[in-house]
Structure 1
């Protein structure tokens, strides 16, 4: 009996040991299955299922042999913990040739479109782009971006501030529809890149203008002597006519103002016509003394003539008064003296007195106020 009992006891001990081992195996298997996770890893649009015992995104990337750097976009972040069923997105950065405001460089970008790149770079949305916003970066060899800048333009007497996305001064002129003349000058070369607060001045230079100036040419006087005329007589037989000289100048205008002038031609465009004058050489005879009358008027006229002209009945002093009684031409003609001679000094003393009598009958001695008063006639 003791032998049988011992045998049964040993058998149960063995079975119990096997149960312990089996339980440990089951528990280990449960633990193994519980720590294994299935995650979806998508790299640049290519998805794959990964079975991992890792606990973070970085663990999964390591197991999938996916290398990332600071330019790549990993979602969630590499240090994030994962669980069964997690999804990991990886967009690897690719080189993009970029020219930004005239500076060319290659950047690493995870952007898919030009719009994404603009957002990534943080440039103004109203920048000038070489490709449409929805263009795929993979299809664009180089992206040229010109950001808007404020520049100051001075041209044609005006200074204005302009906002532009032009890349160079030449592009700016085309954008603003500013046409340069062949001699115009720019304060900056056309190839210079546009920078913020750039100041550009266009100086207009015109070398194609000409002006003409007309100047008179004085005429000469030809004098002819005539012995049949008295020496105090002069007749213009042909009136003189001034000539004309035209000078042509080439001028330079800078912003509309003349800065240079050069004489190109100097020509006579109208010849002057000389004046012809005939002067007398014959000496005029002494004037006849006026005949006395019963009222002593002749003596009074003689005394008046002595006061007015020193008693010279043929005097012509050139002051507009003529003869012994110093008639003006208008008074002489108005009183009828023209029937004797064109001017008083050409008439005889008696003819001058006869004409003076006409004046005295209309206005009295007041026609000769100073001398009449001196002689007590007033």
Structure 2
């Protein structure tokens, strides 16, 4: 009886120990099982698993962590029930900055995160809104940073800030008009660089019309009724008018070229008609003198003294009508200016057209004002001075 009781106690004790172990194991299991909030790239879910660290909890939930991913807290950090684990995946984003393509690796979630990572500033021009999630980005992210141009136009220099990629687009965005003939110091499609100097030269082409005088000509006709050496105006001359049209090009208001594009006579000139007398004047007999004031003897014809004949012989070989084309005329070789200056024009327009007596009369006036020095060589040769 005692033996049976003893066996029953042993059996009961063994069952109690097993039950105690089972209860302890269950308590241990329940104590190791935790519920945590896991947020992956902004998406949160509840994960129930057992594990002491972040790495164990993520592994229990079949969440893999790749190189470059960012985990908070750290993978080796202890995890308590109700903790929050944040995992941001490493992403590759195609970016074009001022026309230069590159790949940006980021654990950010939105375009704004990429912009902050690149430190491009709030003034940059971005192809999409900063709040757009990277998961929704379907094309490369285009970014134009702000740059400053030094623009000289209309005689003034100013600073122009722009996010446009080319000079032409920057000018258009700034409201700078560029005429079809204006000259730009760089090509419009030139990529904008910070500090770039750009000059616009305003080019204008205008036409200008001016007039100038067309001198009238002179037509001479012989008049047998008019005494030789005299002239008469038959028709008065009148100058004409010529119109000239120029094409003028200016750069910033300064003329750089002028081209004659049209020339025409708008008013024809009228030539003057001058009658030149050819009638020989009547000869006047000069009183004969026993001796000229020059000391010579009176000539037998025309009242020309022997002194003047001798001087004419020396000057022209005695040929009173000579015109050799050397600018000197007649027997005493007058220049036309001397002839006209001494009043010879009343006899004839040229000395060789006047009679010997008329030539001597003019010569006497010259001798009275300047002596025999008007004929230096021959007067010395004849001993007249």
TM-score w.r.t. structure 1 length?
0.61
Deviation at 1:101, TM superposition (A): 6.4
Counterpart residue number, 1:159 = none
Q: 1:349 to 1:253 in 2, by over 3 A?
A: closer
Deviation at 1:303, TM superposition (A): 0.5
Q: 1:344 to 1:272 in 2, by over 3 A?
A: closer
Q: 1:231 to 1:68 in 2, by over 3 A?
A: farther
Deviation at 1:83, TM superposition (A): 2.6
2:380 aligned to 357, 362, 373, which one?
373
Q: Which runs of 5+ in 2 are unaligned?
A: 155-159, 298-304
1:174 aligned to 148, 172, 175, which one?
172
Tell me the matched-pair count.
356
Is the 1:290–1:349 contact (alpha carbons within 8 Å) kept by the matching residues of 2?
no
- Partner SS for 2:115: helix
Is the 2:339–2:345 contact (alpha carbons within 8 Å) kept by the matching residues of 1?
no
Counterpart residue number, 1:136 = 131
Deviation at 1:165, TM superposition (A): 2.8
* CA–CA distance in structure 2, aligned partners of residues 306 and 193 of structure 1: 91
1:116 aligned to 101, 113, 119, which one?
113
Deviation at 1:40, TM superposition (A): 4.0
Deviation at 1:118, TM superposition (A): 1.5
Is the 2:167–2:192 contact (alpha carbons within 8 Å) kept by the matching residues of 1?
no
Is the 1:289–1:349 contact (alpha carbons within 8 Å) kept by the matching residues of 2?
no
Q: Which runs of 5+ in 1 are unaligned?
A: 157-161
* CA–CA distance in structure 1, aligned partners of residues 241 and 113 of structure 2: 79
Q: 1:296 to 1:225 in 2, by over 3 A?
A: closer
- Partner SS for 2:266: strand
Is the 2:40–2:86 contact (alpha carbons within 8 Å) kept by the matching residues of 1?
yes
Q: 1:123 to 1:241 in 2, by over 3 A?
A: farther
Is the 1:185–1:205 contact (alpha carbons within 8 Å) kept by the matching residues of 2?
yes
- Partner SS for 1:246: strand
Cα RMSD after superposing both structures: 6.0
TM-score w.r.t. structure 2 length?
0.60
- Partner SS for 2:310: helix
Counterpart residue number, 1:271 = 268
Q: 1:239 to 1:308 in 2, by over 3 A?
A: farther
Is the 2:54–2:77 contact (alpha carbons within 8 Å) kept by the matching residues of 1?
yes
* CA–CA distance in structure 2, aligned partners of residues 76 and 352 of structure 1: 135
* CA–CA distance in structure 1, aligned partners of residues 356 and 29 of structure 2: 163
Deviation at 1:14, TM superposition (A): 3.9
* CA–CA distance in structure 2, aligned partners of residues 31 and 114 of structure 1: 46
Deviation at 1:80, TM superposition (A): 5.0
- Partner SS for 1:365: helix
* CA–CA distance in structure 1, aligned partners of residues 315 and 235 of structure 2: 35
Question: Deviation per CA, 1:124-161, whole angstroms, max 9, x where unpaired?
Answer: 435323577xx5336xx9876334689999999xxxxx
Spell out the pairing of 1:157-168 with structure 2 (5 A cutoff): 165-167=163-165
Counterpart residue number, 2:144 = 146
* CA–CA distance in structure 2, aligned partners of residues 17 and 40 of structure 1: 42
1:127 aligned to 119, 124, 127, which one?
124
Is the 2:232–2:275 contact (alpha carbons within 8 Å) kept by the matching residues of 1?
yes
Is the 1:102–1:193 contact (alpha carbons within 8 Å) kept by the matching residues of 2?
no
* CA–CA distance in structure 2, aligned partners of residues 375 and 111 of structure 1: 126
Deviation at 1:371, TM superposition (A): 0.9
* CA–CA distance in structure 2, aligned partners of residues 46 and 343 of structure 1: 121
Counterpart residue number, 2:302 = none
- Partner SS for 2:275: strand
* CA–CA distance in structure 1, aligned partners of residues 97 and 58 of structure 2: 34
Spell out the pairing of 1:302-317 with structure 2 (5 A cutoff): 302-312=309-319
1:282 equivalent in alignment to 2:279: yes
1:88 equivalent in alignment to 2:95: no
Counterpart residue number, 1:296 = 296
* CA–CA distance in structure 2, aligned partners of residues 237 and 185 of structure 1: 60
Deviation at 1:176, TM superposition (A): 5.7
Q: 1:273 to 1:100 in 2, by over 3 A?
A: same
Spell out the pairing of 1:217-228 with structure 2 (5 A cutoff): 219-228=216-225
Counterpart residue number, 1:246 = 243
2:72 aligned to 72, 75, 100, which one?
75
